[in-house]
Amino acid sequence: MDNTLDKKLINYGEAIYEATYQEMAINDNVFTYGLGVDDPKGHYGTTKNLHRDFGNKRCFDTPLSEDSLTGIGIGAALAGLRPIYVHQRMDFLLLCMNQLVNMAAKIRYMSSGEHTVPLVVRAAIGRSWGQGAQHSQALHSYFMHIPGIKVIAPTTPHDAKGALIASIRDNNPVIFVEHRMLYKNAGYVPSESYEVPFGKGRILREGNDITIVGVSHTVEDSLRAAELLKDVGVNAEIIDPISLSPIDYDLIRKSVDKTKKLLVVDNGWSTCGFSSEIITDVAINCSNIRCERMGFANTPCPTTPSLEKDFYPNPRTIAVTANNMCDGDSKWNPPEVTQQEITSFKGPF
Amino acid sequence: MTKKFNLEQAYYLFLLIRESEEKIIDLYSTDKIKSPVHLSIGQEAIAVGVSMALRQEDVIFSNYRGHAHYLAREANLDKMWAELYGKSRGTARGKGGSMHLNDASKNFMPTSAIVSTSVPEAVGYAYALKYKMEPGVVICYHGDGATEEGVFWESLNFASLHNLPIIFICENNEYAIYTHQNKRTLGDPIVDRANSFGVNSCKVKGNETEDFYNITIDCLNKIKKKSNPYLIECMTTRWKDHVGVGDGIDLNYRDHKEINRALENDDLKNLEKQLSEKIVSKIKLRVQEEIKQAVIFAESGKFPNSKELHENVYG
């Protein structure tokens, strides 16, 4: 992180707003659109009043037509604009797949570089307070599978701002993964403009005993697990990959070469997912590494809290898994950790 | 705009498309063109009429049956042929092929092989033109089948909502592969449905170049006065198979009379009749020579190097 810049304490949502505002202010070609971007709530404040500051042409609400609106963004990008298409839930990207996969990802290749698609698609993963099966999906691995698309999933306010600025300036289609449970997270963020680059992860906590790699909100829970693990003398290294495509494999390889143990905690399903990719890379490129993975239960997400609590990995289950990998006491029963952002959330969305 | 219909130019472009497609048919058995081709024969009049009405600043979105749209725009013939051959001199250095032509110098955007998929791109481009206050109009070619995709109507809705400068050119050849329109939708609905979305629409029958030219000029003039989307449903006949170089006649999926009527009404012959023999033979010679040179250009070019496999995935 750059320590020379002037910083202030803001939350993740405000950081996304600040990135958008600053980029729209310096580049007339940047515009923001999506369902509700100009409504009074402005998508958790991330787009609030942009239509007043920049006009309806550069910040507009849309019909409920995600398929065409994705293509419209691609078409505008082909004409030299830099659209940011905002989705209130990642689940809705399933309505956009033809355009994202068949067009956005391939136009550059199919035209041998004659045309590029600088489109940013922001999508928020939902969780808690009854999101259920269709408002909670995390589909980052779908997009990691596709050559021609970049995927970035920042966890901290600092990285949210810098990664969004990098995404807007990037000449490729970018899926910018947000998480509803991160919007209120506060952190010190430089007031000035800066980029958090693709392909670079970050070690958020150094340790020697085990490497834990999270994604988006599970990075938070992994940090909480690391605190629990201190009680049993396990010093966990926590990696936030930030950029999921391209991935900073070097950072992860170096860490596991040191700790010899890798736990990937995905914020999504495990099968054919982020964890499969990371563990495969480590299996090929590193020696004698013990690997485990955690992720969503292999079910759709249930709505009732009594089942939903078992659907997600949590700090406690992460800590127990890590401790077992470190040959700790298998009967260790760490305390529950309050996930304030989850317990305090009261809708109405 | 009172640009007069240029008969010689129309004949030249029409013949260039027809002869280029016929050359593909001649050469296809050699397997030098190792990819699917969706020939435009029978539908040339639309592309020629529309393109001749356009100006440099106008922008074309087409589809996998795009040879006619590409050539009528006077995009690079040599590069198209090299692309068919998969050579590095091609429009996409061999990575696109017949279904993914492009020529940025002519504002001919990369074409898509999935029905209706480039329709919203065309609308988005029109949004950008209006956004940047640039003068061009977008032409969006699509088939009758495209109007059965949801994204098509989503796109018309947005174009209408934002009064975008775009003309949808619906090439209605009545068949989606071998399935007639009357098995796919009730009645004769395209113009009515488009009108109901606030897109001014009309149907043009007869498959004649000059009619398509005139209606396009008319739409361009109206857009110049007030930006709005238009749709022209152009009735036409696909003479050949959906894909490949056969005519599909032995498949008996359609009445032979349909094809015979179309062959009798070939607008290429109508255009030719209106020109002097001297001009016709001059244009024929020119077209033959251009295609001959294009084939030489394609055949003599190199295939891309292996390292190009990984180029231009990201930019």
Chain A residues with CB-CB distance to B312 below 8 A: 108-109, 112-113
Q: Is residue A232 part of a domain?
A: yes
Query: Exactly one of A14, A18, A23, A66 is catalytic; which is it?
Result: A66
Task: Judge if the upstream peptide bond of residue A246 is cis by omega within 30 degrees of 0.
Answer: yes
Q: Which residues contact A152 (CB under 8 A, 6 or more apart)?
A: A163, A166, A167, A174, A175, A176, A177, A198, A242, A243, A244
Of A65, A74, A109, the CB nearest to B121: A74
CB contact under 8 A, A81 and B131: yes
Q: Are residues A71 and A147 in the same domain?
A: yes
Which contacts (CB < 8 Å, 24+ apart) does range A338-343 have? A339/A181, A339/A221, A339/A224, A339/A314, A339/A315, A341/A181, A341/A182, A341/A184, A341/A185, A342/A127, A342/A128, A342/A181
Interface of B with A in 142-161 (CB under 8 A): 150-151, 154-155, 157-158, 161
CB contact under 8 A, A109 and B312: yes
- Is A70 within 8 Å of chain B by CB? yes
Q: For chain A, what is the domain count? A: 2
**pLDDT (tens digit per residue) in A201-223:** 999 999 999 999 999 999 999 99
Q: Are residues A251 and A168 in the same domain?
A: no
The enclosing domain of A75 has a CATH number of: 3.40.50.970
Q: Is residue A20 part of a domain?
A: yes
CB contact under 8 A, A103 and B124: no
User: Structure pTM?
Assistant: 0.96
B184: number of CA atoms within 13 Å, CB side? 17
Q: Is residue A94 part of a domain?
A: yes
Nearest Cα to Cα of residue A49 among A18, A7, A11: A18
Final residue in a domain of this structure, among A190, A213, A240: A190
Q: Is residue A349 part of a domain?
A: no
CB contact under 8 A, A71 and B132: no
- Is A94 within 8 Å of chain B by CB? no
Q: How far is B311 from chain A (nearest CA, A)?
A: 8
Q: Is residue A90 part of a domain?
A: yes
Q: How far is B125 from chain A (nearest CA, A)?
A: 5
**3-class SS at B282?**
helix
Q: Is residue B189 part of a domain?
A: yes
Average pLDDT estimate for A100-129:
96
Q: How far is A84 from chain B (nearest CA, A)?
A: 13
Q: Is residue A281 part of a domain?
A: yes
What's the DSSP call for residue A88?
S
- Is A147 within 8 Å of chain B by CB? yes
Q: For chain B, what is the domain count? A: 1
CB contact under 8 A, B131 and A57: yes
Please report, as a single letter, which amino acid is at residue A70.
T
Of B92, B114, B313, the CB nearest to A111: B92
Does the pLDDT of residue B151 top 80, yes or no? yes
Does the pLDDT of residue B264 top 70, yes or no? yes
Which structural domain range is residue B262 located in? 7-302
**3-class SS at A122?**
strand
The enclosing domain of A338 has a CATH number of: 3.40.50.920
Chain B residues with CB-CB distance to A75 below 8 A: 61, 120-128
Average pLDDT estimate for A28-54:
95
- Is A171 within 8 Å of chain B by CB? yes
**pLDDT (tens digit per residue) in B117-149:** 999 999 999 999 999 999 999 999 999 999 999
User: Binning pLDDT at 50, 70 and 90, where does residue B2 land?
Assistant: low
Q: Are residues A59 and A158 in the same domain?
A: yes
Q: Are residues A169 and A207 in the same domain?
A: no
Percentage of chain B beyond pLDDT 90 is 93
Q: Are residues A88 and A232 in the same domain?
A: no
Count chain A–chain B contacts defined by CB atoms under 8 A.
140
Q: Is residue B314 part of a domain?
A: no
Q: Are residues A238 and A144 in the same domain?
A: no
Q: Is residue A305 part of a domain?
A: yes
Q: Is residue B32 part of a domain?
A: yes
Q: Are residues A144 and A180 in the same domain?
A: yes
Q: How far is B35 from chain A (nearest CA, A)?
A: 14
Which structural domain range is residue A21 located in? 7-190
Q: How far is B121 from B115, CA to CA, in rounded Å?
A: 13
CB contact under 8 A, A172 and B93: no
CB contact under 8 A, B96 and A70: no
Contact by Cβ (8 Å): A153, A177: yes
Contact by Cβ (8 Å): B11, B19: no
Q: Is residue B106 part of a domain?
A: yes
Q: Is residue B53 part of a domain?
A: yes
Q: Are residues A163 and A224 in the same domain?
A: no
**pLDDT (tens digit per residue) in A291-344:** 999 999 999 999 999 999 999 999 999 999 999 999 999 999 999 998 989 888
Final residue in a domain of this structure, among A145, A162, A190: A190
Average pLDDT estimate for A100-112:
98
- Range with lowest mean pLDDT among A104-113, B33-42, B69-78, B115-124: B33-42
Active site residue A135: yes
CB contact under 8 A, A65 and B157: yes
Q: Minimal Cα distance from A57: which residue of B?
A: B131
**3-class SS at B252?**
coil
Q: Is residue B50 part of a domain?
A: yes
Q: Is residue B308 part of a domain?
A: no
Average pLDDT estimate for B210-220:
97
Residue A2 confidence (pLDDT): 56
Q: Are residues A12 and A135 in the same domain?
A: yes
The enclosing domain of B37 has a CATH number of: 3.40.50.970
**pLDDT (tens digit per residue) in A50-74:** 999 999 999 999 999 999 999 999 9
Q: Are residues A183 and A244 in the same domain?
A: no
Average pLDDT estimate for B179-198:
95
**Average pLDDT of chain A?**
96
Nearest Cα to Cα of residue A332 among A260, A258, A225: A225
Average pLDDT estimate for A99-107:
98
Place of tokens 């359609």: B254
Nearest Cα to Cα of residue B165 among B205, B209, B134: B134
CB contact under 8 A, A76 and B112: no
Q: How far is B234 from chain A (nearest CA, A)?
A: 24
Which residues share a beta bridge with A291? A262
Question: What ipTM was predicted for this assembly?
Answer: 0.96
* φ, ψ of residue A273 in degrees (nearest 5): -110, -165
Residue A344 confidence (pLDDT): 86
Of B95, B109, B313, the CB nearest to A78: B109
Does the pLDDT of residue A285 top 60, yes or no? yes
Q: Is residue B206 part of a domain?
A: yes
**Average pLDDT of chain B?**
96
Q: Minimal Cα distance from A29: which residue of B?
A: B132
Interface of A with B in 250-309 (CB under 8 A): none
CB contact under 8 A, B121 and A80: no
Q: Are residues A158 and A20 in the same domain?
A: yes
Residue of A56, A59, A68 to mutate, testing the B interface (most B Cβ within 10 Å of its Cβ): A68
Query: Exactly one of A51, A135, A140, A158 is catalytic; which is it?
Result: A135
Q: Are residues A167 and A285 in the same domain?
A: no
3-state DSSP helix/strand/coil percent for chain B, to nearest 5?
50, 10, 40
Residue of A70, A72, A103, A171 to mutate, testing the B interface (most B Cβ within 10 Å of its Cβ): A72
